[in-house]
Structure 1
Amino acid sequence: MSRIRPLPPELINQIAAGEVIERPSSVVKELVENSLDAGATRIEVDVELGGARLIRVRDDGDGIAPDDLSLAVASHATSKIGSFDDLEHVASMGFRGEALASMASVARFAITSRLRGMDNAFRIEVDSGRMQEARPAQHPQGTSVEVRDLFYNVPARRKFLRAERTEFAHIDDLLKSLALARGGVEFRLSHNGKSVRVWKAARDENAMLTRVAEVLGETFPQQSLRIDHAAAGMRLSGWVGLPTASRSQADAQYFYVNGRLVRDRVVAHAVRQAYADVLFHGRHPTFVLYLELDPAGVDVNVHPAKSEVRFREQRLVHDFLFRTLHEALAQTRAGQHVQAEDSDWAGAADVTSTVVQGVSRQASQWPAHAAQSRLHLGVREEPLAGYAALLGDDATPQPSFVPQPLPSSNDDEVPPLGYAVAQLKTIYILAENTHGLVLVDMHAAHERITYEKLKSGRVCSNLRSQILLVPLSVPVSAKEAAAAEEHGEALADWGLELSRSGPSAVVVRRIPALLEGADVAELTRNVLSELAQHGSSRQLQELENELLSTMACHGSVRAGRRLTIPEMNALLREMEATERSGQCNHGRPTWVQLSMTELDKLFLRGR
């Protein structure tokens, strides 16, 4: 090997560029984040040839002092932190002091800035590591940074750039995420001299929701829940899509921690668990969520591009996210999201820590015969008799519907799903409510009702467990074996009894009776893996829910059965009172609202 020697500054910056500057969108990210840290209220991004020829970011922020311009492009020079304590409480978007130096080492770079309160602007240029003297220039208050011919002096990097359309798409997606992060800032994006995006500053929540709709689609507001909940020194706010608004790809998920877009496995796991009971297999939820917590509780100095974070209290954050989202989704009931006809959309339903808008709050105001009509599980007793022994006598389903009288014509108030008028092809229930026509898939709706009743009849501590004839030894990691010791009592409540038998092994002695026939070794490893990684596990509950879902499917009223009008009304009332009744156990919608406006359009009325 050759002798150890220090690397030249230019090579150091090019190595850093390999970590920070992956493609043109990486440049845009760093520059726009600098603008946000400078207090900008208006940011313009101009690119040419997908950013390969030119990237220019202009803002109206505080600007940079003339004497600091040369330091701005020096390695590890920054105005955002000055001590280790600052690093422990990072509140800015950027702080490493690497980005501008990295750009200047792999592109033709220029920066023009006018400090707030000064009469003149100054400009410096850097080409191949050679910096010119700062000179006066014309520029309004704020800063403009130009990055031309990206990777012109690093051919190996330049050849890996994709087609112009692909690179611009990455920039466009990035600006969308930044626009969602800072609603009060105006963003403009142009490509090859043509304006592509203009996001005006959002001054209130409705304006912000309009911006969200521009990014996630115009139907998102009607198909989402408003979240705003605070606990344990954290606050979660934003919007989550209803399960019926899921997507085939995870391309509409925006999660921000103290204003920074992040991809985090703790967050992803908590969200996935919250949707586990309502989302169709292989589908992904949509959301725009903002988590606020003490900067000291999150380490943002994990990745050079700052796209990853590390929570200091991972279990606490995971539980807070899961419980907030799980409880919000549980409050969704059929009929809850009927929108008024006098507006295109009235915004997302609001779910907060103190108020849950929905049917549960309105039930006491309905006519007595509507509020009191309850649908007993319309199933035969035989298929579920065996499960009643496992779940307890209280979970035994009732054998028939309870017919209820029709409403009188004097009733002034109508429940959200209205009153049944007919049954179509013995599959769908047609009902009339205040807004128009309601269509209900009776099997999907009753399946959810049956499922929720079966779940509510199950009490963890009363679940029967089955002793294994021969205790099973399962090899696990040392971390997983430690989790078995720590969470032994909680697992026993679910009917899974195991103990640590060595540094990397556990012994299973009992399993939940509902899971008889399951792969015990695989189940144990999956449960302990989640416990070791996240401090909690829903593997047992999800497996049991899957079995209960199958029971509910077989035990629900089938398509092809003729229902009476009172039976249909009983089903509608039960839907309005049942959690998650907007979709069946598989994530399919249980009901659809057609407003009078939509019906009129079908028949060209009013034209």
Structure 2
Amino acid sequence: MPRIQVLPDVLASQVAAGEVVERPASVVKELVENSIDAGAREVLVEIRRGGAALIRVTDDGSGMGREDARMCLERHATSKLQSAADLLRIRTLGFRGEAIPSMASVSRFRLKTRTAEEVAGTEIEVEGGQIGPIRDAGCPVGTVMEVRDLFFNVPARKKFLKTESTESAHIEHQLRLHALAAAQVRIRFRKDDREVFDLPAGLDRLDRLRQILGLSVGRELMRLEPTEATGLRVEGFILPHGHARRGRRHQCIFLNGRPVEDAAISRGLVEGFRGGLQEGLHPAAWLWIEMDPAWVDVNVHPAKREIRLRKPHDLREAIAAAVMGASSALQPPKAIEPETSSSERGRPVIPNRPESGVPKVSVARPVMPSVPAARAVWQPVAVERPLISQEPVTEAAPAGPGFRLIGTLLGRFALLESSDGLVVLDPRAARERIWYEKLMAAGGQSVHTQSLLVPLLLEPGPREVELLLAHREGLASAGFEIGDFGGGCLQVMSAPDFVKPEEVQPLLLDLADELADEATLSRRFADERLAKSLARKAALREKARPEEAMVLLEALFQCDLPYCAADGRPTLSEFSMGELERRFGLSK
């Protein structure tokens, strides 16, 4: 057993970097938080090659003097904590002093900074944790931090980076979070010398949120009136239940200006909808929470994403009460907003906005993309025959087990006689299994496809757009033709004929949520998830028709797994004679 020894500083920083610097978006998060803590009114973030080649963050904050510039590269050096008691009243975004030395240990790092009192600034370069000479530099008041060649000296970590577009999407999402948390700061984002967005300072939260979400979704936002409880205050915006999704990535929670994640907050949002959500779905929400710092511990996660609440029940109840306050807006939609042209998307100025701001309850619209439903016209495309004929069929000899049709139950189930007893067939589950296996085997070649005269425009967010575009080929084989419309927007040119226009967005967003939750985004995984969703839609579209059970059974027993649907539900349930005799007390 080797003797215990203290790690060298460079190695200790590289170990810490494994917790703090997960990917380029982690670097952007830490540097932007430092800029906001420094009182910056404007922050410019520039990246190249998804952040792997370059991340540069420029701010006009207070800057640092020469000694502070040198000290910020030392581990656990910070100006934000003086004693253990300060941990109970943390108001700054950063406080541990680990981020800068950690990222400098796994990159080629450069720092330029100047305070208003100094004539010359300070410049320091660090390569793989080795600090170079400190020299004077000409620069404006503020700080510029550059991180080049991230993980150049830790190739094992570099292998785990995703594609450039995926890493860029994560960075863009992180910046949007900071833009919502600090609306008083102008945030600009440039990717590969192209400006992605420029969010001006001085807008209220609603206008900034509308800038980020787009005009179509922004119109459906419902304000949550400020709700106060002992030591805390909650306010924000939610979307109607039709926008609920399976993951929580569309829930943005800001506690004391810090983007956080917490299960108690998510439960409060669900409880506020009072059972109006389908099981497993989570509402879309943006909440700003102010809380006594002594009631929350933000020092429980290396990246400070998760928190520990002293009184989670009080916060959950306050959030539920705030959501319930907009309960009348959670009812089915009463009217549809006037038509909006695609050229109006993304404008910061919101037309027809009441002088008093957004009303507590706004008129909700059905979940639709940016292009109005009236213009979303489906146009059939000539393709092969559907997998399951919808024309009347005649009785056929059974394939597989020797079942005999003896009747139907309430027009929903087929009752069959087997050599061992009674068998109940669910025609809908059977059709779902047949559709699923045909889709997986044929690659969508037998799906009736309908094209749009005017493409549907969806705004799911940069990460979701990237995920779906990465699986464009698999979606095309299933009948969905999609393309990048720019600005975090996706256009859909065609879809299977059994998918209604208003079902396109939730179906694709559910798929994106499942892809994001999966560690390995394989083509096979995406195809399976999409095939399951399409099979369910196709089966629901057709009537049960249990009288056609024998023909359906013939197709079912040609499947690899005929006894269960794609989601594991049984297609057939058997009640043996022995079981029936026991139920009626006839067994010996």
The Cα of 1:248 is off from its aligned counterpart by: 5.4
Matched with 1:39 is 39
1:551-576 CA distance string (max 9 Å, x none): xxxxxxxxxxxxxxxxxxxxxxxxxx
Alpha-carbon contact 2:254-2:288 (below 8 Å) kept: yes
Alignment partners' CA distance in 2, 1:173 and 1:27: 13
Question: Which is further off, 275-284 or 170-179?
Answer: 275-284
The Cα of 1:69 is off from its aligned counterpart by: 1.1
The Cα of 1:349 is off from its aligned counterpart by: 4.6
Alignment partners' CA distance in 1, 2:67 and 2:358: 52
Instruction: Say which of 211, 227, 246 aligns to 1:214.
Output: 211
Alpha-carbon contact 2:235-2:322 (below 8 Å) kept: no
Matched with 1:15 is 15
Alignment partners' CA distance in 2, 1:345 and 1:287: 23
1:97-126 CA distance string (max 9 Å, x none): 000010111001111001123221110111
Question: Which is further off, 291-300 or 266-275?
Answer: 266-275
Matched with 1:467 is none
1:124-165 CA distance string (max 9 Å, x none): 111122212321112111000011100000111011111111
Matched with 1:101 is 101
1:528-567 CA distance string (max 9 Å, x none): xxxxxxxxxxxxxxxxxxxxxxxxxxxxxxxxxxxxxxxx
Matched with 2:473 is none
Task: Note closer, same or farther for the CA distance 1:199–1:209 as it changes in structure 2 (3 Å cut).
Answer: same
Alignment partners' CA distance in 1, 2:242 and 2:352: 17
1:348-375 CA distance string (max 9 Å, x none): 7533xxxx789xxxxxxxxxxxxxxxxx
Task: Note closer, same or farther for the CA distance 1:333–1:23 as it changes in structure 2 (3 Å cut).
Answer: closer
The Cα of 1:86 is off from its aligned counterpart by: 1.0
Alignment partners' CA distance in 2, 1:345 and 1:91: 37
Instruction: Say which of 204, 227, 230 aligns to 1:229.
Output: 227
**TM-score normalised according to structure 2 size:** 0.57
- Is 1:346 the counterpart of 2:353? The answer is yes
Structure 1 counterpart of 2:159, which letter?
K
Alignment partners' CA distance in 2, 1:319 and 1:219: 31
The Cα of 1:302 is off from its aligned counterpart by: 0.6
Alignment partners' CA distance in 1, 2:159 and 2:244: 37
Structure 2 counterpart of 1:165, which letter?
S
Alignment partners' CA distance in 1, 2:333 and 2:292: 38
Instruction: Say which of 250, 258, 262 aligns to 2:256.
Output: 258
Task: Note closer, same or farther for the CA distance 1:225–1:294 as it changes in structure 2 (3 Å cut).
Answer: same
Alignment partners' CA distance in 1, 2:93 and 2:338: 40
Structure 2 counterpart of 1:263, which letter?
E
Alignment partners' CA distance in 2, 1:45 and 1:246: 31
Structure 2 counterpart of 1:79, which letter?
S
Task: Note closer, same or farther for the CA distance 1:335–1:349 as it changes in structure 2 (3 Å cut).
Answer: farther
Alignment partners' CA distance in 1, 2:74 and 2:206: 40
Matched with 1:303 is 301
Alignment partners' CA distance in 2, 1:167 and 1:357: 36
Structure 1 counterpart SS, 2:287: strand
Alignment partners' CA distance in 1, 2:268 and 2:122: 49
**Structure 2 counterparts to residues 473-488 of structure 1, below 5 A:** none
Alpha-carbon contact 2:227-2:321 (below 8 Å) kept: no
**Structure 2 counterparts to residues 265-414 of structure 1, below 5 A:** 265-330=263-328, 344-346=351-353, 349-351=358-360
The Cα of 1:232 is off from its aligned counterpart by: 1.9
1:286-322 CA distance string (max 9 Å, x none): 1111010111111101111000111111221122212
The Cα of 1:340 is off from its aligned counterpart by: 9.2
Structure 2 counterpart of 1:284, which letter?
H
Matched with 2:74 is 74
Structure 2 counterpart SS, 1:183: coil
Structure 2 counterpart of 1:115, which letter?
T
Aligned length: 352
The Cα of 1:345 is off from its aligned counterpart by: 4.9
Structure 1 counterpart of 2:359, which letter?
D
Structure 1 counterpart of 2:160, which letter?
F
The Cα of 1:222 is off from its aligned counterpart by: 2.3
Alignment partners' CA distance in 2, 1:29 and 1:341: 38
Alignment partners' CA distance in 2, 1:43 and 1:274: 36
Structure 1 counterpart of 2:295, which letter?
G
Structure 1 counterpart SS, 2:302: coil
Task: Note closer, same or farther for the CA distance 1:177–1:6 as it changes in structure 2 (3 Å cut).
Answer: same
Structure 2 counterpart SS, 1:132: strand
Alignment partners' CA distance in 1, 2:336 and 2:298: 41
Alignment partners' CA distance in 2, 1:265 and 1:67: 42
**TM-score normalised according to structure 1 size:** 0.55
Alpha-carbon contact 1:111-1:124 (below 8 Å) kept: yes
Matched with 1:92 is 92
Aligned-residue RMSD, C-alpha: 2.4
Task: Note closer, same or farther for the CA distance 1:76–1:158 as it changes in structure 2 (3 Å cut).
Answer: same
Structure 2 counterpart of 1:41, which letter?
R
Alpha-carbon contact 1:223-1:245 (below 8 Å) kept: no
Task: Note closer, same or farther for the CA distance 1:71–1:238 as it changes in structure 2 (3 Å cut).
Answer: same
Unaligned runs of 5+ residues in structure 2 are: 341-349, 364-588
Unaligned runs of 5+ residues in structure 1 are: 359-607
Matched with 2:2 is 2
**Structure 2 counterparts to residues 240-251 of structure 1, below 5 A:** 240-247=238-245, 249-251=247-249
Task: Note closer, same or farther for the CA distance 1:104–1:357 as it changes in structure 2 (3 Å cut).
Answer: closer
Task: Note closer, same or farther for the CA distance 1:33–1:337 as it changes in structure 2 (3 Å cut).
Answer: farther
* Aligned residues with identical type, % of pairs: 40
The Cα of 1:39 is off from its aligned counterpart by: 0.3
Task: Note closer, same or farther for the CA distance 1:3–1:248 as it changes in structure 2 (3 Å cut).
Answer: closer
Alignment partners' CA distance in 1, 2:84 and 2:232: 24
Alpha-carbon contact 1:216-1:252 (below 8 Å) kept: no
The Cα of 1:338 is off from its aligned counterpart by: 7.9
Task: Note closer, same or farther for the CA distance 1:21–1:310 as it changes in structure 2 (3 Å cut).
Answer: same
**Structure 2 counterparts to residues 142-181 of structure 1, below 5 A:** 142-181=142-181
The Cα of 1:218 is off from its aligned counterpart by: 1.8
Question: Which is further off, 35-44 or 227-236?
Answer: 227-236
Alpha-carbon contact 2:221-2:362 (below 8 Å) kept: no
1:64-112 CA distance string (max 9 Å, x none): 1111111101000001111111111000000010000101110011110
Alpha-carbon contact 1:222-1:337 (below 8 Å) kept: no
Structure 1 counterpart of 2:70, which letter?
S
Alpha-carbon contact 1:222-1:345 (below 8 Å) kept: no
Structure 2 counterpart SS, 1:256: strand
Alignment partners' CA distance in 2, 1:128 and 1:333: 57
Structure 2 counterpart of 1:232, which letter?
T
